[in-house]
């Protein structure tokens, strides 16, 4: 990846993300940023910061690793893995694999970050009662 593309700084920021670095989000994210994932859809730096603060309260040890990154102009796609322990859901680490679509503003900061990942298979199916129902439904609708 070329050192000139702003995706490099964003990837480095995310891989080093911690409760202590959330306050530096404005260095890589535009004030009017939109962040969307299967659970959230927020607009603005303060809303995104609050979301990350809440994430660290729920999963204090969460870490992100970007596996692949491809970009063209002001658009970047990155494949990543996150891993952390969600305090309310037990002691086993939760591993989520996903993709993000990033859009960069003219100043090089992210103006849109949209995460795509399978919330049913990677989250809901791990919750005891809900998971059993979803696994049953998945088996019923699967092509055989």
| Domain-located, residue 126 | no
| Domain-located, residue 143 | no
Tokens of 88: 């309310």
pTM for this prediction:
0.84
CATH of the domain at 102: 3.10.450.50
Give me the chain's average pLDDT, please. 90
Our count of domains for the chain comes to: 1
* Domain span at 52: 6-117
Q: Tens digit of pLDDT for each residue in 73-124? A: 999 999 999 999 987 777 888 899 999 999 999 999 999 999 999 887 767 6
């Amino acid at each position: 990846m070329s050192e000139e593309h702003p995706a490099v700084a964003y990837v480095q920021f995310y891989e080093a993300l911690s409760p202590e670095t959330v306050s530096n989000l404005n260095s890589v994210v535009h004030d009017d940023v939109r962040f969307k994932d299967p659970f959230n859809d927020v607009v603005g730096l303060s809303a995104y910061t609050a979301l990350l603060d809440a994430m660290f309260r729920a999963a204090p040890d969460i870490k992100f690793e970007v596996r692949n990154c491809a970009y063209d102009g002001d658009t970047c796609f990155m494949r990543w893995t996150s891993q952390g322990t969600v305090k309310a859901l037990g002691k086993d680490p939760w591993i989520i694999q996903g993709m993000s679509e990033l859009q960069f503003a003219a100043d090089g900061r992210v103006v849109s970050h949209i995460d795509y990942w399978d919330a049913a298979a990677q989250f809901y199916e791990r919750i005891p009662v809900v998971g059993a129902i979803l696994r049953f439904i998945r088996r019923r609708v699967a092509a055989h």
